[in-house]
């Protein structure tokens, strides 16, 4: 933990202790006074009951009427005092003269305190006063004969020290409860802090805040759009790249909290939430803008709690793909030509060593003429330089692979009005040729014919091989993404051909029989550059 930063456990313990202590202190202030008053009332009630018991005792009444000796009152009063644990029990006549007292020397003397007046007038009452035994709580009760005439009074006193002890004893229970409450609060705070830290993977609040800031900065810095939804399909997160795409598509700039299906009807995030299965490299239309999307569920503890979609404008990806395709085509062509050139150099070197000079001249002339004728034919018939260069590279690649590749075009193929078509053509022709090369690899006759025909704004491309052919069931599966008979991590070539066909609104026909080769016929709308209607 960094200096100046308290741990989550310390903060929770201190906070809980303060809350518990303050709560119990307020409770103590509110309850203690009531408890003290309740104890005092209980002591007063005790004194009153003792006074009434003595005042209604036959012995006391007869002694005050003269039917008994007044000396019997003293032992009786002392016995009651000891049994009830009060401070004093004093019996007095109507003049306030004591007939009993804990100190026998005080018997016969006037009652001290000055608070006996009301009881001598027949009124029962409670008072606090100081006498010979100190300050005490006193209960006064009149003594009456059987006819109801008052003949004296009883005063029962409980020392205020005893009252205070009783109050303190009651308060001690509150103090013990307060202490126990604080201890339980501390233990509860420790358990709570450890539980919270376990949920937070042991991270402190400042570490969580830093991670959140880093996560936010990371999400906002990536170029891919990111949208996250919760279990209810409500949008919970959108980064800046996604907002730019939404703005470009004419959507609201404040999607947080909205239902993803209402905000983006073409999304499939709700399906990902239900199925828990990811959807990768899918194309989606967003108000006329094509985007490539990856959708994955967010799973916590084997439960799907949300889903995330990352996406990017298809136009940007296509530009990058075109650049990469051009580099790859150029590299493939150079590699194939270099390999072919090295083979021919070996032939020339061998003929020189053997002295076949006449044959050497003939071989060189044939090679030069063949190369010139090949390049001249392709560049003369295919007016799109990108497509022409691509085909020349494929010719070298085929020769390197030991395959005879023939390109034919009865009439010149003009450049397309939209350069985007060239990219799709390269995808279609390149994958069909690659597929054909692989098809004839293990055949005795390794021959591929590629034919271009153009007319009435329709471009026809035929790629025919002498391979083993395909069954009808196989023909129905070859365009599925990931399907391949050549092993894992394959099956994308013909899938890309099918996607390119759909984009150009073209048509593709397969003609194949097992053991007799395969022909792919492609029909595409193709508007040449410079044509006007």
pLDDT of res. 324: 53
**What's the DSSP call for residue 526?**
-
pLDDT of res. 140: 93
Give the burial string for 210-242 (b: 16+ CB within 10 Å, else e): eeeeeeeeebeeeebbbbbbeeebbbebbbebb
Q: 340, 400 in Cβ contact below 8 A? A: yes
pLDDT of res. 314: 66
Residues of the chain under the 70 pLDDT cut: 1-5, 8, 32, 162-163, 166-167, 170-171, 174, 205, 209, 212, 216, 218-221, 314-344, 346-347, 357, 360-376, 482-492, 530-533
pLDDT of res. 489: 44
Domains and CATH numbers, the chain: 11-166 (3.30.450.20), 222-316 (3.30.450.20), 356-525 (3.30.565.10)
pLDDT of res. 152: 92
pLDDT of res. 272: 85
How far CA 496 is from CA of 158, 350, 427, in Å, comes to 105, 44, 7
Residue 296 burial (CB count, 10 A) = 16
Q: Is 301 exposed, middle or buried (0-12, 13-18, 19+ CB in 10 A)?
A: exposed
Is the pTM higher than 0.75?
no
How far CA 309 is from CA of 223, 243, 246, 254, in Å, comes to 13, 13, 14, 17
Encoding tokens for residue 246? Answer: 């939404």
pLDDT of res. 391: 83
Rg (CA), the chain: 54
Question: CA-CA distance, 354 to 50, in Å (whole number)?
Answer: 147
Q: Compute the residue count for the chain.
A: 533
Q: For 207, phi and psi rounded to 5 degrees?
A: -70, -40
In order, the DSSP letters of 48-88 are HHHHHHHHT-HHHHHHHHTSS-GGGHHHHHHHHHHHHT-SE
Taking each continuous run of H as one helix and of E as one strand, the counts in the chain are 15, 14
pLDDT of res. 1: 45
pLDDT digits (tens, 9 = 90+) for 112-167: 888 888 988 889 998 888 777 777 788 999 999 888 899 999 999 887 776 677 66
Question: CA-CA distance, 97 to 87, in Å (whole number)?
Answer: 19
Give me the residues paired with residue 127 across strands.
Answer: 138
pLDDT of res. 365: 60
């Amino acid at each position: 933990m960094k200096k100046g930063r308290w741990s989550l456990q310390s903060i929770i313990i201190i906070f809980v202790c303060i809350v518990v202590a303050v709560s119990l202190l307020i409770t103590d202030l509110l309850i203690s006074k009531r408890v003290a008053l309740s104890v005092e009332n209980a002591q007063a009630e005790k004194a009153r009951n003792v006074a009434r018991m003595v005042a209604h005792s036959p012995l006391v009444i007869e002694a005050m009427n003269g039917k008994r000796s007044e000396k019997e009152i003293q032992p009786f009063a002392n016995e009651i005092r000891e049994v009830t644990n009060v401070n004093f029990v004093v019996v007095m006549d109507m003049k306030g003269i004591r007939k009993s007292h804990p100190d026998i020397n005080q018997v016969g003397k006037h009652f001290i305190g000055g608070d006996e007046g009301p009881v001598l007038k027949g009124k029962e009452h409670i008072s606090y006063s100081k006498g010979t035994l100190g300050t005490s709580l006193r209960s006064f009760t009149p003594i009456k004969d059987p006819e109801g005439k008052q003949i004296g009074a009883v005063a029962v006193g409980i020392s205020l020290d005893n009252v205070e002890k009783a109050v303190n004893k009651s308060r001690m229970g509150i103090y013990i409860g307060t202490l126990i409450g604080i201890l339980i609060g501390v233990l509860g705070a420790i358990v709570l802090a450890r539980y919270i830290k376990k949920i937070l993977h042991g991270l402190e609040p400042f570490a969580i805040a830093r991670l959140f800031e880093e996560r936010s900065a990371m999400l906002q810095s990536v170029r891919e759009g990111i949208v996250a939804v919760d279990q209810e399909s409500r949008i919970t997160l959108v980064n800046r790249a996604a907002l730019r795409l939404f703005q470009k598509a004419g959507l609201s700039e404040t999607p947080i909290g909205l239902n993803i299906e209402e905000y983006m009807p073409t999304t499939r995030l709700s399906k990902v939430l239900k199925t828990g299965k990811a959807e990768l490299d899918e194309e989606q239309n967003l108000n006329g803008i094509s985007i490539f999307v990856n959708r994955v569920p967010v799973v916590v503890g084997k439960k799907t709690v949300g889903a995330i979609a990352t996406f990017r404008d298809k136009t940007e990806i296509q530009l990058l793909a075109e650049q990469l395709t051009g580099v790859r085509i150029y590299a493939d062509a150079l590699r194939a030509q270099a390999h072919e050139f090295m083979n021919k150099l070996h032939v020339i070197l061998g003929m020189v060593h053997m002295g076949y000079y006449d044959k050497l001249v003939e071989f060189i002339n044939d090679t030069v003429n063949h190369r010139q004728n090949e390049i001249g034919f392709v560049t003369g018939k295919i007016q799109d330089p990108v497509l022409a260069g691509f085909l020349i590279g494929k010719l070298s690649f085929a020769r390197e692979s030991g395959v005879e590749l023939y390109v034919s075009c009865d009439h010149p193929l003009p450049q397309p009005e939209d350069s985007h078509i060239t990219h799709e053509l390269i995808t279609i022709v390149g994958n069909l040729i690659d597929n054909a090369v692989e098809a004839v690899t293990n055949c005795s006759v390794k021959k591929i014919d590629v034919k271009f025909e153009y007319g009435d704004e329709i471009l026809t491309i035929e790629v025919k091989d002498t391979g083993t052919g395909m069954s009808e069931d196989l023909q129905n599966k070859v365009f599925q993404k990931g399907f391949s008979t050549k092993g894992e991590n394959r099956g994308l070539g013909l899938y890309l051909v099918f996607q390119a066909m759909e984009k150009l609104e073209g048509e593709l026909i397969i003609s194949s029989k097992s053991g007799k080769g395969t022909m792919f016929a492609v029909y595409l709308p193709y508007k040449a550059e410079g044509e006007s209607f």
